[in-house]
Amino acid sequence: MFIQINISHSDHPIEEFMALEDDFVKATEGHRTIRRAIGCMGADDPTLRVLIAFFDSKEDAEANSQLPGTDQVASKLMTMIKEDMPQFVNLEVKSDRTF
Range of the domain at 87: 2-6+15-49+65-91
Domains in the chain: how many in total?
A: 1
- The Cα 4–Cα 6 span in angstroms is 7
Q: List pLDDT tens digits, range 26-79.
A: 999 999 999 999 999 999 999 999 999 999 999 999 999 999 999 999 999 999
Nearest to 86, CA basis, from 6, 3, 5: 6
pTM here? Answer: 0.89
- What is the reported pLDDT for 8? 94
Residue 80 lies in a domain: yes
State mean pLDDT over 87-91.
96
Residue 26 lies in a domain: yes
Q: List pLDDT tens digits, range 36-50.
A: 999 999 999 999 999
- The Cα 68–Cα 42 span in angstroms is 29
Residue 96 lies in a domain: no
